[in-house]
Amino acid sequence: MTTPDLIQVSEYVWELPAVGGMRVPGRVYADRELIQEVRDDQSLVQVANVAHLPGILRYSMAMPDIHFGYGFPIGGVAAFSVEEGIVSPGGVGYDINCGCRLLATDLRTDDVGGRMKPLIDQLFRDVPSGVGASGAIERLSRKELEKILVRGAAWAVERGYGSKEDLEHTEDGGTLPGADPGAVGERAWVRGQDQVGTLGSGNHFLEIQTVDRVFDAAAAAAYGLREGQITIMVHCGSRGFGYQVCEDSLETMASASHRYGIELPDRQLACAPVTSPEGRQYLAAMACAANYAWANRQMIMHLTEQALLRALRMSPKDLGLRLVYDVAHNIAKLETHEVEGVPVDACVHRKGATRAFGPGRSEIPAAYREIGQPVLIPGDMGTASFICRGADKSMAETFGSTCHGAGRVMSRSQARKRAKGRSIERELESAGVLVRSQGRKTLAEEMPEAYKDVGQVVAVMDGAGISPRVARLRPLGVIKG
């Protein structure tokens, strides 16, 4: 289809008018510079395509980190009426519940300044990473894997890999309800047996950081963050298990779309009504993958703590490692939101987008409820990450959603060509960032130039009042797959 012309409706909001079969307008959050990068990009066509889907509420939205994805754009948000709308695997993506976990410590930058190399080396040894990484824990029996799919992060905590407080500081308590292992195909079971507690590859990372700037002192204090503090960020998802759940679901949805008479502008938007047997089956399988991802990040947190204690030769009390928050980036969730002043049950798709609930929502941990939900925005390798907070405006405009990162501007093949003849590892080290990776290919594909400026992306959502900035985290050492 031809994408309608963008209309600027405010400083940071651009609109695609509803034309043709679009049921609602499209909305893109960006400043003038970022909008130029996507004007001729196929991701805008995807924003318009999503607006064709039945039961969509208010807008088809894209955050400033928007780029081309499978069906839905990455950086896309769309909410559908549970009663009349659909659920689409393309609106979640292959890496179900890819997300971020932020850990705080009682250490200051000076405490690790001279020990970064052995610290990074220890983490690289102890946290399995890379394509097909396995072996963090023993190969799981089917019965034990079934418990993970239902219990999520709670499975790990019940086995001593964390605390009750960890669950309180994880989105949905680390357990998405409605998971049904019976909805999961056999191939996913096989792929999930030995990847819990592994980082994976691509843009996933484990990063040692320092808080180098606080924008909102009250929110930072509520989150337990202060300038000069050492933090650790984990960015990963559901590994091969989630990928297979998506792959299997797309086959089912392709025939379901036709069966329910849903006209699709793009076959990658294959979907089914939320309340249909196919829709319920996908949500049940997706919840299993989401829970797998939360168990995975909980185990990585445990492995990280053990590695830090070994490398720094200190007690858990002196380290003071604790979970600030854990958020999902790729997920579809059943939530209640106000639409034109009326509460509506909605299936909110966030693909490369983060929940950003404002103050007062019961889903937010009690310690953060007056401030708003912590929002974790990872940077690309070698650049800053940001902590933001959910705001009332996000509830009014974006179904409690915001951006999730920098967003690619180069494909992986383009990045490899740009990196040819260079040592990305040495370039990062000269900038003060130690990096360990299973291969040079990943470093080339994930180099900072391959991404937008995350500070600019975050500034847009701050300026729009959706997710105000709280703190900036500067990387000191990074582990990649």
CA atoms within 13 A on the CB side of 183: 23
Catalytic residue positions, numbered: 404
Q: Which letter does DSSP use for residue 32 in this model?
A: H
Buried b (16+ CB within 10 A) or exposed e, 331-347: bbbebebeeeeeebebb
The H-or-E segment that residue 103 falls in is strand 99-108
Distance CA 72, CA 51 (A): 10
Best CA proximity match to 124, nearest among 412, 454, 395, 481? 481
Residues 250 and 282: beta-carbon distance below 8 Å: no
Query: Which residues, in sequence order, are CB contacts of 423 under 8 Å at separation 6+?
Result: none
Structure tokens at 404: 């999730």
Q: Which letter does DSSP use for residue 446 in this model?
A: T
Structure tokens at 479: 């582990």
Best CA proximity match to 306, nearest among 177, 170, 127, 142? 127
| Vertex 128 angle, CA 125 and 134, to 5° | 135
Neighbours of 33 (CB within 10 A): 11
Best CA proximity match to 69, nearest among 35, 94, 86, 40? 94
Distance CA 185, CA 177 (A): 19
Distance CA 47, CA 60 (A): 6
Query: Which residues, in sequence order, are CB contacts of 321 under 8 Å at separation 6+?
Result: 103, 104, 105, 232, 301, 304, 305, 308
Distance CA 196, CA 299 (A): 7
Residues 302 and 309: beta-carbon distance below 8 Å: no
DSSP strands (E only) in 300-438: 322-328, 330-339, 342-351, 354-355, 374-377, 385-389, 401-402, 434-437
